[in-house]
Structure 1
Amino acid sequence: MINTLIGDIGHASVIVAFVAAIVSSYAYFMASRAKVEATGDNSWRNLARGAFYVHGAAVLLVVFALFNIIYEHRYEYYYAWSHSSNHLPVYYMISCFWEGQEGSFLLWIFWHVLLGVVLMNSGKKNKMWEAPVMAMFSFVQLFLTSMILGVVIGDVKIGSSPFILMRDFMTDAPVFAMDPNFVPQDGTGLNPLLQNYWMVIHPPTLFLGFAATLVPFAFAMAGLWKGKFTEWVKPALPWSHFAAGILGVGIIMGAYWAYETLNFGGYWNWDPVENAVYIPWLVLVGAIHTMIAFRRGKSGLKASYILVISSFLLILYATFLTRSGILGNASVHSFTDLGLSGQLFAYLAAFAVLAIGLLVYKWKSIPTTEKELSTYNGEFWVFIGAAVLCLAGFQVLVTTSIPVYNSFLGFIGIESNAALPADQIEHYTKFQLWAGVGIALLTGIGQLLWWQKGEKTKSSFLDSIMLPGMLTLLFASLIIVLSKLGAFPETVDNPVYITLLVAALFAVFANLSIILNLLHKKVSLSGGAVSHIGIALMLIGILFSSGYSNIISQNTSGMLYSREFPEEINRDNVLLWRNTPVEMDKYTVSYHGQYLEVKDVPEYVNRELLFPTADEYKAIARADIKVNDKVYFKTGDTLELHSPENTYYKVEYKEREGDDQFTLYPRAQVNPNMGLLASPDIKHFADKDLYSHVSSVPDPSEEKDWGELQEYEVAAGDTIILNDYVAVFNGIEPIKEVPGVVLGEGDVAVQADMKIYGERKDYHAHPVLMIKDQMMGRLPEEIADLGLRITFLNIDTENNRFKIGVNATQKDYIILKAMEKPLVNVLWIGTILMAVGFTMAIVRRNQEGPGAAKAPRPKKPRKVQAA
């Protein structure tokens, strides 16, 4: 019988978490009423707290139960079967947890629990905010928990449970009709593209960013609800920094995963799912700037409300886009629809109506200032910067939402076939590039005016801008001149690119001058300048690594590899026959065979040294497996493979006019459902990356086309010619073990000893001839480097001669694409600086005094004397 205890515990815990969220939300709502606050009655608050702790404990139990069914390979559960397999290491089992929709929702819920506990225990300074803020938190948890509830009431399904059994999910499968207790022996496994360490840390970071956007939203809603229109900004601001910093780092983690795992040659492809996360991040960063402006100059409060609320609603909209199935085939990252599209829309609509309705209702009560902002005022440029960020997000939002327009029009009976741009990268870049120019300039100008001392006039501004401006022109000119001298693959002469370069350099030097001026005051004051330098460096890194990426694997042979290949493969790739050097740009490149990843061996192992067994995750060593003279496995040892479906192709690079020499191992897998899945290997230099990936390989599922068998009769010491290679037959020797074969009493096995002289190295072949159970068997030796298969055919014991058979085939090859990505490290360095700047800003905001920003007092009307 199937043991369903752990699943029952998990499902029951989801129900408990859902009910507790309802109780906590209602109790916190009651605790927030003015009458309760006036009397000091804490009974509702204590009930709400207790319910939230119960909710948190239930969520932890759900997390434990779900991971348990994955870790223990409980394939009676559909979630475990569809996302994991027997041979996955533990760290990839963690990735299995959030590969599915239900697991990712649970991750999001988990982060909300932790953030809620922190808010409830943040001390006296936020005590007055606990009830209204946590009421919003609990209300959000109610909706999120409903997504994994998995309850059917009549014809209505609420949520999708991760604890559904295979037999209940696949009710039409014949195997369950025959045996309701059938349990598969193995799962389908984790998506091969997700088997990467970045997929272990990127999703939790990203979902923490998602969760953290709720905190400033909850404070803003609490401020509207309780009429504390200005006080909410102070506690919300450090959380906004935290959310933007974590979300930004999570986005870049995903970009680096794409850079290291996917083969499109970049880190950002303007995929709708990528865009859906990018948009709320831009808006949230804009909100931070308007909140800071309000803290200083009492202006921009309404804008802060709009942007903080919008950032959270855009997170919900991103969730709807990626999980409702509405994107269809428009994105390679989106989830399939689990029947939750109605719930997801209700989730989005509920908070949109609640937030926008409350904002409209309280709009006239939100205090404003009549203070006029001059062009030499820092707050003015902060608002302009926030506007540019929002416009950049709006442009991406409008295009990304095209599938939503089509769906909505279809719903009301209007047919629409609007499509996303054919070249999405060009479409978005032509707008976002100019947004980058504006952001870079504004971060420089705004910071200089923000920290300007004394009277803010034209002359004082010109004085502060003089040195950064001169350094900008100097360094921009130097870069352009160096590019003309060949420092970069291409000359920097594109006017648009030069404009972005100048703007980004100005941002670096302007903010650097701010940091130098603030060092004698307090280091934490410079957090904004540090993050702005990080953003500027990211723009420079993006400019050069994308705008001046250089494909060095141009096909100069004049040969068309295949008419079935796209033009790009025939034009931008080089064909590498095994062990045949080819000149490519300034390198001599050669391909040296297929390698596998073996457990407990620090380097990849040549596939030719491994004899396959019936278990694809195990192999037998044909020879000693050693690295740097250290033997890890001896001949005949059984060893385990990490991922037998992944093949690593050894490619050696050598500079023709230098001493630089290195080896790369790009990975590829021919997946029966997804085709060729290729991941690059990257050689990192200080000023660039050399990015190499396999574009095509011989299909391993197809039988090799071996030529006609050529037979040779030889004696020990004879020399023969095998397909233009000289070979020496040294003789035979008996063996006691045959890889993959169990020899019984009376069975005999011998192997031939042959040496073949290749162009670059010598090879030893040991084909086996055996008699097992009075039947003759042969185990040929294949030398892929030479395209030879050698078979020990027979022994003439009377004349002491031996018959050897040889087949020849086309040599192994790969088609390789290689490109240089200049200054890509500047992008990653900029990301780190951006995160450091956000961290400094969080520390600074938490250290600020207890005083809250106060609403500007309305001016008293002047008395008019009667005539």
Structure 2
Amino acid sequence: MMHYFVGDLGHLFVITSFIAAIASAFSYFRSTGAASLDLKDQWRKNGAVAFYVHATAVLGICVTLFIIIYNHYFEYHYAYSHSDRNLPLHYLISTFWNGQEGSFLLWMFWQAALGLVLIFTNRFWEAPVMTVFGLVQAFLASMILGVVIPGLDFRIGSSPFILLREVMQNAPIFVSNPEFIPNDGTGLNPLLQNYWMVIHPPTLFLGFASTLVPFSFCLAGLWLKKYREWVRPALPWALFGGAVLGLGILMGGYWAYETLNFGGYWNWDPVENGIYVPWLILVASIHTMITYKNSETALKASIILVIAVFVLVLYATFLTRSGVLGDSSVHSFTDLGLSGQLLVYLGFFLFGAIILSIVRWKEIPSSDKEVSTYSREFWIFVGTLVICLMGFQVLLPTSIPAWNKFVGFLGFSSNMAPPADQIYFYTKFQLWFAVAIALLSAVGQFFWWKKMDVRQLGKELLMPFIITLVAFVVILQVMVSFYSSEAINARYLIILFSALFTVIANGKILLSLLKSSPGLSGGAVAHIGVGMMLIGMMFSSGYSKVVSLNNTGLLYSREASEEYNRENLLLFINEPRTMAGYKIEFKGERLEPRWKSGYLNPNDVEFIEDPYRVVAKRDIQYNGRKLFNAKDTIEIFPENKYYEVQLVSQGGGKHTLYPRIQDNPTMGVAASPDIKRDLSKDLYAHIVDLNDPEKAEWSKTEEIKVAALQEFFANDYVAVLEKVERIFSIGNTKLDSADVAVKALIRVKGEYEEYLAEPIFIIRNRMVGRIPDEIKDLGVRLTLMNIHPETGQFSIGIDTRQKDWIVLKAFEKPLINVLWIGTLVLMIGFGIAIVRRSREFKKMKEKGLE
């Protein structure tokens, strides 16, 4: 049965949200320009009501789309393309924003929520700010409108409520049966089946949405000629956006580290860059806004940067959703025909903001005060310049595909290509920018709190410098004992020293602030977090140690490079290898333990012979309540596969890792790592390649005659026929009295343990049957071929194949926890600053100054 109503209702909500957003923007625009207070208030109320209708319609779109996904209405293209019946609830939620239409909707939802907050919290700025909000929401609603202009064959937006048959109308199944509904969907990309992807995109889009608030205040200030006043209400929102967007980026980095198999947390992918650059510029704008608020300088710089942040968010949206990056990024969306709309969206706000700024530029006040080298304004300017150059260096190469498209559109050709080795290219520049930022944040903080000359600055920095030098020498001595002299290069030492210096210098500032004004400590805390992140990045990336070193002399691939063969270890099942301080052993394939409501941690269960059951090793909780007791048997629904790998260090520490293989019929095979964490390092391993036992080629059967207790060779392993006994049932099937069945017990001595094979020979209804038994660990299949009572011998058939194997890459990631702790400290610093600026703005409102 087709479920038309919910889709039609959802589409009605989309149209309503679009019209209501335009009505709200128009009403607020009229309110801003109205001469009389009564007319101004009347239009403002109309605008607010229209925005309430818009927000309600957006919520309605979300509810109807989720109903389609949750109830598996696969007649709708969105549900069919992004979900299936096997997904647990939390992954069904993440399919909501897996597609372009859903991600636009998520963006709309957050901006609608922020708009409601602004309506209820800031009456003075409501009309001009919400005018901008309404226009932005109208553009976003148009992206999911899915309306075709009659006579022009032009479609506005891509609807999430379009039917599958409308997308695949030429498919034979829909030609013959228009009412056809697939039984299941194509499923969620295996790499997105991770709990971080349930929370990372909403956080990221909340960060995108929050950049609209300071942008709207900025345009409102230019519009109303309130050139100074807009900064104070915009600053807490800029801080909020910086914190949330930064948190979203860091979540994405952790997701990549935990899910992808390139061995890191940042790959400098163009989509990653498209998020990173606006965040950098947002951080720069926060500093210039704070500078202006404290000393009335850098107002024009604040205006430029705040506008640039929102425009860069729109530019990143165009890059990732227009198909421009299709050949250079694995994260970008394909073009849904929205590239023209996205360009209009970008151009409208880019040129609108530029024109308004140009018109008002001469009227914008600027300070004539000379900026001293020993002033906080100078150091903020230098720091802002470095951050902007940092973003500019990433933005230009990332934009090469867009530039090539633009040149091609003009009828010319461009041979520019993005960097082949993205990590090396960007890192070699960004590291030095990071060093500069660390040093500037260390020195600049002292100017921020005190007016000083060069002599006083030297006194203030002397103690932090001495402590940094002592800590640096101690850490260097430890590094010398752990790493070779070649590994300790000058670049890493400079990064380490500058990061330590910013942590210790800002630590001194923090201690003094905690004694007098703890609420002012947000900047110092955030800078300490940045320094810790640099230390964690330097050690975890620069001193990452490959422990899967191939010292066996066996080449995994003759076509691959020497480095590839050296760092990827071929492991046959139950054949341990010792290298780089670890004994590494592949223990075999394990089916993924998924129960009816979610996935189980493989370290919490014991895999048994029954592939559809596991035993709990300990009490297991889910969503705060206990579901299973230790030793409970749990029925599972195996889908994907884990591969159990044991690593035993020289110190005796035993680590069991379960790198994961996800096999999706549509998406293909995806490998994800497993990680064992301790305070000093992470042990990180992933599968590079593996064999498929089901596709293994068996040798031609070798048949030999043996007597009881006689030894023989099976695939180079010593085997002995211990006995042959009659049996009266096979599995749960009992045999008739006329049937004859015997079972051979053959013990095979592997290299590290013994195995028992039990092939069966049966005569039933005067027909001979044979049930072989395979020892998967050895790649041996044994068959009881025949019985020779006249000689007391038995014919044993031996088939062999290559043993199960994997190619493993394993790392030690030293001090990576310093990176993650640094991100937490950075977020705490943002939080302290947000609270302080919000309280400050609230006090100004209470005094009637805002």
> Partner of 1:329: helix, strand, or coil?
coil
Is residue 216–residue 239 contact of structure 1 (8 Å, CA) maintained in 2?
yes
Unaligned 5+ runs, structure 2: 619-628
Aligned with 2:583 (options 584, 588, 607):
588
The residue number in structure 2 matching 1:368 is: 366
Change (3 A) 1:25 1:537: same
CA shift, 1:351, in A, is: 0.5
1:370-409 matches, within 5 Å, as 370-409=368-407
Change (3 A) 1:772 1:843: farther
Aligned with 2:472 (options 473, 476, 490):
476
CA shift, 1:47, in A, is: 1.4
Mapped pair 1:10 → 2:32: no
Is residue 6–residue 64 contact of structure 2 (8 Å, CA) maintained in 1?
yes
The residue number in structure 2 matching 1:457 is: 453
The residue number in structure 2 matching 1:35 is: 35
CA shift, 1:834, in A, is: 0.5
Mapped pair 1:546 → 2:575: no
Query: How high is the TM-score relative to the length of structure 1?
Result: 0.90
Give 2:297's aligned amino acid: S
> Partner of 2:685: helix, strand, or coil?
strand
Mapped pair 1:597 → 2:588: no
The residue number in structure 1 matching 2:644 is: 650
Identity percentage of aligned residues:
51
Is residue 242–residue 282 contact of structure 2 (8 Å, CA) maintained in 1?
yes
Is residue 707–residue 809 contact of structure 1 (8 Å, CA) maintained in 2?
no
Give 1:820's aligned amino acid: E
Aligned with 1:537 (options 532, 535, 540):
532
Change (3 A) 1:25 1:792: farther
CA distance in 1, matches of 2:765, 2:61: 56
Aligned with 1:178 (options 173, 176, 179):
176
The residue number in structure 2 matching 1:161 is: 159
CA shift, 1:310, in A, is: 0.2
Give 1:508's aligned amino acid: V
CA distance in 1, matches of 2:184, 2:428: 48
Aligned with 1:138 (options 116, 134, 142):
134
CA distance in 1, matches of 2:20, 2:744: 74
CA shift, 1:848, in A, is: 1.1
1:79-118 matches, within 5 Å, as 79-118=78-117
CA distance in 1, matches of 2:342, 2:386: 30
CA distance in 2, matches of 1:798, 1:132: 104
The residue number in structure 2 matching 1:758 is: 750
CA shift, 1:758, in A, is: 3.2
Cα deviations by residue, 1:789-822 (Å, 9 ceiling, x for unpaired): 2345567899999765332211111111122222
Give 1:26's aligned amino acid: F
Mapped pair 1:563 → 2:555: no
Is residue 105–residue 144 contact of structure 1 (8 Å, CA) maintained in 2?
yes
Cα deviations by residue, 1:597-638 (Å, 9 ceiling, x for unpaired): 223566377888246xxxxxxx4x6xx85747965449xxxx
The residue number in structure 2 matching 1:22 is: 22
Change (3 A) 1:326 1:769: farther
Is residue 70–residue 92 contact of structure 2 (8 Å, CA) maintained in 1?
yes
The residue number in structure 2 matching 1:283 is: 281
Is residue 190–residue 663 contact of structure 2 (8 Å, CA) maintained in 1?
no
1:356-755 matches, within 5 Å, as 356-452=354-450, 455-486=451-482, 488=483, 493-600=488-595, 603=602, 609-610=609-610, 619=612, 627=617, 632-633=632-633, 639-642=635-638, 644=639, 646-656=640-650, 658-669=651-662, 676-699=669-692, 702-710=695-703, 721-723=713-715, 724-727=717-720, 728-729=722-723, 731-735=725-729, 737=731, 755=747
Give 1:609's aligned amino acid: E
Aligned with 1:811 (options 796, 800, 803):
803
1:301-320 matches, within 5 Å, as 301-320=299-318
Give 1:838's aligned amino acid: F
Change (3 A) 1:456 1:684: same
CA distance in 1, matches of 2:133, 2:737: 73
Query: How high is the TM-score relative to the length of structure 2?
Result: 0.92
Is residue 220–residue 232 contact of structure 1 (8 Å, CA) maintained in 2?
yes
Is residue 534–residue 833 contact of structure 1 (8 Å, CA) maintained in 2?
yes
> How many aligned positions are there?
827
Q: RMSD over aligned Cα, in angstroms? A: 2.9
Is residue 293–residue 299 contact of structure 1 (8 Å, CA) maintained in 2?
yes
> Partner of 2:91: helix, strand, or coil?
helix
CA distance in 1, matches of 2:768, 2:6: 53
CA distance in 1, matches of 2:353, 2:795: 85
CA distance in 2, matches of 1:584, 1:104: 46
The residue number in structure 1 matching 2:238 is: 240
CA shift, 1:692, in A, is: 1.3
> Partner of 2:335: helix, strand, or coil?
coil
Give 2:516's aligned amino acid: K
Change (3 A) 1:496 1:707: same
CA distance in 1, matches of 2:42, 2:702: 90
CA shift, 1:704, in A, is: 3.1
Is residue 16–residue 55 contact of structure 1 (8 Å, CA) maintained in 2?
yes
CA shift, 1:672, in A, is: 6.4
Give 1:691's aligned amino acid: Y
CA shift, 1:573, in A, is: 1.2
CA distance in 2, matches of 1:353, 1:405: 19
Is residue 591–residue 642 contact of structure 2 (8 Å, CA) maintained in 1?
yes
Give 1:182's aligned amino acid: F
Give 2:674's aligned amino acid: D
CA distance in 2, matches of 1:704, 1:566: 28
> Partner of 1:389: helix, strand, or coil?
helix
> Partner of 1:98: helix, strand, or coil?
coil
CA distance in 2, matches of 1:360, 1:280: 22
Is residue 483–residue 490 contact of structure 1 (8 Å, CA) maintained in 2?
no
CA distance in 2, matches of 1:563, 1:427: 28
CA distance in 1, matches of 2:312, 2:301: 16
CA shift, 1:466, in A, is: 1.2
> Partner of 1:731: helix, strand, or coil?
strand
Aligned with 2:833 (options 841, 848, 860):
841
Is residue 693–residue 816 contact of structure 1 (8 Å, CA) maintained in 2?
yes
CA distance in 1, matches of 2:312, 2:240: 18
**Mean Cα displacement is larger for which, 822-831 or 660-669?**
660-669
1:824-839 matches, within 5 Å, as 824-839=816-831
Cα deviations by residue, 1:235-258 (Å, 9 ceiling, x for unpaired): 111110110001011101111111
Change (3 A) 1:542 1:744: farther
Change (3 A) 1:630 1:205: closer
CA shift, 1:759, in A, is: 3.4
**Mean Cα displacement is larger for which, 68-77 or 397-406?**
68-77
Cα deviations by residue, 1:135-154 (Å, 9 ceiling, x for unpaired): 11111000001101111113
The residue number in structure 1 matching 2:256 is: 258
The residue number in structure 1 matching 2:120 is: 121
Change (3 A) 1:224 1:630: closer
> Partner of 2:515: helix, strand, or coil?
coil
Change (3 A) 1:182 1:701: farther
Is residue 245–residue 839 contact of structure 1 (8 Å, CA) maintained in 2?
yes
Change (3 A) 1:22 1:40: closer
Cα deviations by residue, 1:166-196 (Å, 9 ceiling, x for unpaired): 1110011111111111111111111111111
The residue number in structure 1 matching 2:219 is: 221
CA shift, 1:730, in A, is: 5.8
> Partner of 1:354: helix, strand, or coil?
helix
Is residue 719–residue 746 contact of structure 2 (8 Å, CA) maintained in 1?
no
